[in-house]
């Protein structure tokens, strides 16, 4: 619920239009990489907790007022959790960001993997940051909530590769081979063959060294993440200790319902301020 003073990533990219007329790219590959790494890290966190966003886009990506800005993903209204597998049925999202299998669910009769859907949308976000336009669009049917708009996008997706789209062909020439390779592996029609988040993180373009200010900000984010991970690990340990103490109290209550005989051990006592519980919680800021 932080205040995102930097506005949306949509506005940020749109404001680069004048520079793009000279350079050919809206954001440089280094700047796009900086945002994309944060974005993928956030999506990976969601997937690790069995949550698919299903409406990832520039409009739902907010920025704070840092220099360079940090990313905040928002609007989880279309998000869905899963228990055993990530297969889902509902056709939902924004057409220009939707993967072919999401559009072609046939009224819910064909399941799709929510994780692969998010990866496709992440690739669209990266491409728009770089080139300022969508590879597959519904220009003939402007209303994104119509089946005609969905069909128009889907027909483009299955009829041509992202790098064969006429209005983007010249701009694509300005991308490095490594960047194009990553996009090629994201925009794969067969979701089972599409690159995974772990594979994205190992890709040379994703892992390349960035200019000082971007690298320093990413290092700061990593440090913050490690602190949060340590805190959460402490919370889990504390929760286990609380459960153990609760069991001890329950045993005491059961024991108190009858008087011990000579053959039974004396009443058990416990220290309610044992360090494994209250001291640990207070250390991690729970009190």
Residues known to be catalytic: 55
Can you list the positions of beta strands (E) in 101-205? Answer: 112-113
H or E stretch at 212: helix 212-255
Angle between helices 114-131 and 177-186 (to 10 degrees): 150
Measured between alpha carbons, how far is 246 from 252 in angstroms, rounded to an integer? Answer: 10
Give the contacts of 251 (CB within 8 A, at least 6 positions apart): 268
Tell me how crowded residue 95 is: count the other CB atoms within 10 A of its CB: 22
| 183 in Cβ contact with 195 (< 8 Å) | no
Burial (Cβ within 10 Å: 0-12, 13-18, ≥19) of residue 24: middle
Give the contacts of 118 (CB within 8 A, at least 6 positions apart): 43, 46, 47, 52, 53, 54, 56
Give the contacts of 76 (CB within 8 A, at least 6 positions apart): 51, 53
Per 3-state DSSP, the chain is made up of helix, strand and coil in percentages (nearest 5) of 55, 5, 40
Sheet holding 61-63, edge to edge: 7-8, 61-63, 71-73
Tell me how crowded residue 117 is: count the other CB atoms within 10 A of its CB: 27
CA dihedral 270, 275, 278, 284 (to 10 degrees): -160
């Amino acid at each position: 619920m932080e205040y995102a003073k930097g506005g949306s990533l949509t506005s940020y990219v749109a404001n680069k239009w004048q520079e793009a007329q000279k350079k050919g790219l809206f954001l440089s590959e280094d700047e796009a990489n900086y945002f994309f790494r944060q974005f993928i890290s956030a999506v990976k966190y969601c997937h690790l907790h069995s949550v698919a966003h299903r409406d990832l886009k520039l409009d739902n990506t907010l920025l704070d007022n840092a220099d360079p800005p940090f990313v905040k993903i928002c609007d989880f209204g279309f998000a869905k959790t899963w228990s055993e597998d990530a297969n889902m049925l509902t056709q939902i999202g924004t057409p220009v960001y939707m993967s072919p299998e999401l559009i072609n669910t046939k009224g819910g009769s064909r399941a799709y993997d929510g994780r692969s859907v998010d990866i496709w949308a992440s690739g669209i976000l990266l491409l728009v940051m770089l080139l300022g336009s969508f590879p597959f669009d519904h220009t003939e049917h402007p209303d994104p909530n119509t089946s005609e708009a969905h069909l128009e996008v889907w027909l483009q997706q299955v009829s041509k590769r992202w790098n064969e789209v006429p209005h983007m062909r010249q701009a694509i020439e300005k991308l490095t081979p490594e960047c194009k390779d990553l996009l090629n592996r994201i925009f794969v029609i067969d979701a089972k063959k599409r690159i995974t988040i772990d594979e994205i993180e190992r890709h040379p373009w994703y892992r390349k060294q960035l200019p000082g200010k971007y690298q320093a900000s990413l290092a700061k984010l990593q440090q913050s993440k490690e602190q949060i991970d340590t805190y959460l690990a402490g919370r889990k340990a504390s929760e286990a200790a609380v459960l153990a103490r609760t069991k001890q109290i329950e045993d005491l209550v059961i024991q108190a319902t009858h008087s011990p005989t000579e053959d039974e051990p004396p009443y058990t006592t416990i220290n309610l301020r044992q360090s494994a519980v209250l001291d640990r919680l207070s250390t991690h800021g729970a009190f």
